[in-house]
């Protein structure tokens, strides 16, 4: 039976020769992920069920990133619960203040996910790791608890949409613009419980950072997962990071897709998602009115990687953000933070009037480090702009790339560059 990339990975981990769309399977896991918000719920269920052991201390990752450094007593209590659990069961991949990062930037950087592997995480943006040719998807905390114990999870095999990419991006157009373009095209439920599978000769011009961004936002189209075909760029990225054998899965030539979408990357423009849904997109050159901003956020699990920091610094260098605008820059991991310091990017950000933060999810989910008041407006490189996402329900979030966010911070209004 012909299968897609995702179907082949699921079949392998279920010990089956083949699987079909809609089939229920039980599959073995290579990684179970939780953070400081979702892990405590999973730990409570773990304890309530009377479990006394985990399936593999090397295949569980607990990353304290959402409310860290702890913003209040509740956040501190949640992290302590995770810290105690990790210590009790000798969990190898526990990351806390000082060595943590935003989970979906940290795990690929650490080589904890490899091509062909199967990962679940109690966070909806776990689909990020499809950039590496893995099947990864978000689950609830109860499923996380079961996964920590059994090393297995139930799946319904998804159908797939094939995105055939050609051409290459123009200057200052990035993976963020592409995924916003796609979500604007198909809608927030356009890939509901489907696999978004990216292939085509255009892949050779898409960096790993951009692939991670694109896969990260597959959930914003309702997808079960996003996944990229493994190529030389993938293999170069995992070289020196992944120290174990892995298997590469490619879709069969006659695999069946619910839809095939062809996209010429050279036709993609700088794109902004207007409140209050990621599908509400407009290209920057189509914005006629002045949309003044109070805040710009550059970072998150979507766009907090080194290339994002570099493009923001390129635009902000020798400039200053507009009066009345707060610009918050959040590198995705400690390594990225340090590289920003070494390369002089941190100095550029600070001289431009920006705040340069330790890694944290912070303002993305309205947690801390940049909450919006009523009537305020932010342009952000994060992944969601729902009502109240970054603070007050009477605030607005516009999603954009780091290039557009940096240019807008300087202009004091939403604008493009180049």
Per-residue pLDDT tens for 331-361?
Answer: 999 999 999 999 999 999 999 999 999 999 9
Across the chain, mean pLDDT equals 96
CB 81 within 8 A of CB 40: yes
Q: Within this chain, do residues 321 and 406 fall inside the same structural domain, yes or no?
A: yes
Q: Within this chain, do residues 192 and 119 fall inside the same structural domain, yes or no?
A: yes
- CA gap 55, 406 in Å, rounded: 45
Among 228, 245, 265, identify where a domain stops: 265
CB 301 within 8 A of CB 103: yes
| Residue 257 lies inside a defined structural domain of this protein | yes
Q: Within this chain, do residues 176 and 59 fall inside the same structural domain, yes or no?
A: yes
Instruction: Give percent above pLDDT 70 in the chain.
Output: 100
- CA gap 301, 360 in Å, rounded: 9
Q: Within this chain, do residues 398 and 297 fall inside the same structural domain, yes or no?
A: yes
- CA gap 347, 340 in Å, rounded: 9
Residue 48 has pLDDT above 90, yes or no: yes
pLDDT tens column, 10-42: 999 999 999 999 999 999 999 999 999 999 999
Mean of pLDDT values over 168-182: 97
Residue 260 has pLDDT above 90, yes or no: yes
Q: Within this chain, do residues 279 and 311 fall inside the same structural domain, yes or no?
A: yes
Q: Within this chain, do residues 286 and 248 fall inside the same structural domain, yes or no?
A: no
Peptide bond into 276 cis (omega under 30): yes
Q: Within this chain, do residues 221 and 343 fall inside the same structural domain, yes or no?
A: no
Mean of pLDDT values over 69-92: 96
Using pLDDT thresholds of 50, 70 and 90, give the confidence band for residue 275.
Answer: very high
Q: Within this chain, do residues 281 and 331 fall inside the same structural domain, yes or no?
A: yes
Q: Within this chain, do residues 128 and 243 fall inside the same structural domain, yes or no?
A: yes
| Residue 416 lies inside a defined structural domain of this protein | no
| Residue 418 lies inside a defined structural domain of this protein | no
- CA gap 188, 220 in Å, rounded: 6
Q: Outline where 98-243 has alpha helix (H).
A: 103-110, 141-150, 175-186, 208-216, 232-238
Q: Within this chain, do residues 220 and 203 fall inside the same structural domain, yes or no?
A: yes
- Residue 299: domain span: 271-411
- CA gap 309, 339 in Å, rounded: 10
The helix or strand, by DSSP H or E, that contains position 38, with its residue range, turns out to be helix 38-48
| Residue 48 lies inside a defined structural domain of this protein | yes
Of 20, 105, 26, whose CA–CA distance to 61 is shortest?
A: 105
- CA gap 128, 304 in Å, rounded: 13
CB 353 within 8 A of CB 320: yes
> 85 has which bridge partners?
none
Among 222, 245, 265, identify where a domain stops: 265
CB 113 within 8 A of CB 129: yes
The enclosing domain of 403 has a CATH number of 3.30.499.10
Give the SS3 label for residue 283.
strand
Distance of CA 196 to the CA centre of its chain: 14
| Residue 27 lies inside a defined structural domain of this protein | yes
CB 35 within 8 A of CB 123: yes
| Residue 97 lies inside a defined structural domain of this protein | yes
Going by C-beta distance under 8 Å and a sequence separation of 6 or more, which residues neighbour residue 28?
13, 14, 15, 118, 151, 152
| Residue 417 lies inside a defined structural domain of this protein | no
Instruction: Give percent above pLDDT 90 in the chain.
Output: 98
| Residue 363 lies inside a defined structural domain of this protein | yes
CA-based radius of gyration for the chain: 20
Mean of pLDDT values over 100-116: 97
The helix or strand, by DSSP H or E, that contains position 27, with its residue range, turns out to be strand 24-28
> What's residue 1's pLDDT?
84
Mean of pLDDT values over 297-312: 97
Q: Within this chain, do residues 275 and 247 fall inside the same structural domain, yes or no?
A: no
Residue 162 has pLDDT above 90, yes or no: yes
Q: How many domains does the chain have?
A: 2
Give the SS3 label for residue 417.
coil
Q: Within this chain, do residues 125 and 171 fall inside the same structural domain, yes or no?
A: yes
Mean of pLDDT values over 46-69: 96
Using pLDDT thresholds of 50, 70 and 90, give the confidence band for residue 401.
Answer: very high
> What's residue 418's pLDDT?
83
Among 231, 265, 299, identify where a domain stops: 265
CB 110 within 8 A of CB 241: yes
């Amino acid at each position: 039976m012909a299968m897609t990339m995702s179907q082949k990975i699921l079949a392998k981990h279920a010990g089956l020769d083949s699987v079909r769309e809609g089939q229920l399977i039980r599959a073995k896991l290579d990684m179970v992920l939780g953070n400081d918000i979702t892990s405590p719920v999973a730990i409570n269920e773990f304890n309530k069920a009377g479990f006394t052991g985990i399936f593999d201390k090397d295949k569980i990752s607990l990353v304290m990133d959402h409310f860290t450094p702890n913003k209040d007593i509740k956040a501190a209590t949640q992290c302590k619960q995770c810290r105690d659990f990790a210590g009790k069961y000798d969990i190898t991949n526990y990351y806390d203040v000082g060595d943590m990062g935003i989970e979906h930037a940290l795990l690929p950087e650490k080589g904890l996910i490899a091509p062909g592997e199967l990962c679940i995480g109690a966070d909806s943006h776990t689909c990020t790791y499809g950039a590496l040719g893995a099947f990864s998807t978000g689950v609830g905390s109860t499923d996380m608890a079961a996964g920590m114990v059994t090393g297995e999870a139930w799946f319904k095999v998804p159908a797939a949409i094939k995105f055939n990419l050609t051409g290459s991006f123009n200057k200052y157009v990035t993976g963020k613009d592409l995924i916003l373009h796609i979500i604007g095209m198909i809608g927030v439920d356009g890939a509901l419980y489907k696999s978004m599978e990216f292939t085509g000769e255009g892949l050779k011009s898409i960096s790993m950072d951009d692939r991670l961004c694109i896969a990260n936002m597959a959930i914003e189209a309702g997808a079960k997962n996003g996944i990229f075909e493994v190529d030389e760029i993938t293999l170069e990225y995992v070289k020196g990071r992944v120290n174990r054998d892995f298997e590469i899965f490619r879709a069969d030539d006659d695999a069946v897709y619910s839809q095939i979408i062809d996209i010429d990357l050279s036709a993609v423009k700088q794109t902004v998602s207007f409140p209050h849904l990621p599908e509400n997109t407009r290209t920057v050159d189509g914005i006629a009115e002045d949309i003044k901003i109070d805040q710009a956020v550059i970072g998150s699990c979507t766009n907090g990687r080194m290339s994002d920091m570099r493009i923001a610094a390129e635009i902000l260098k020798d400039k200053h953000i507009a009066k009345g605008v707060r610009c918050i820059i959040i590198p995705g991991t400690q390594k990225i933070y340090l590289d920003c310091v070494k390369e002089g990017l941190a100095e550029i950000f600070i001289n431009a009037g920006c705040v340069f933060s330790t890694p944290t999810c912070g303002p993305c989910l309205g947690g801390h480090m940049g909450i919006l008041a009523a009537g305020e407006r932010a342009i952000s490189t994060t992944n969601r702009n729902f009502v109240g996402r970054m603070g007050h329900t009477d605030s607005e979030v516009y999603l954009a790339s780091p290039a557009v966010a940096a240019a807008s911070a300087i202009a004091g209004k939403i604008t493009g560059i180049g």
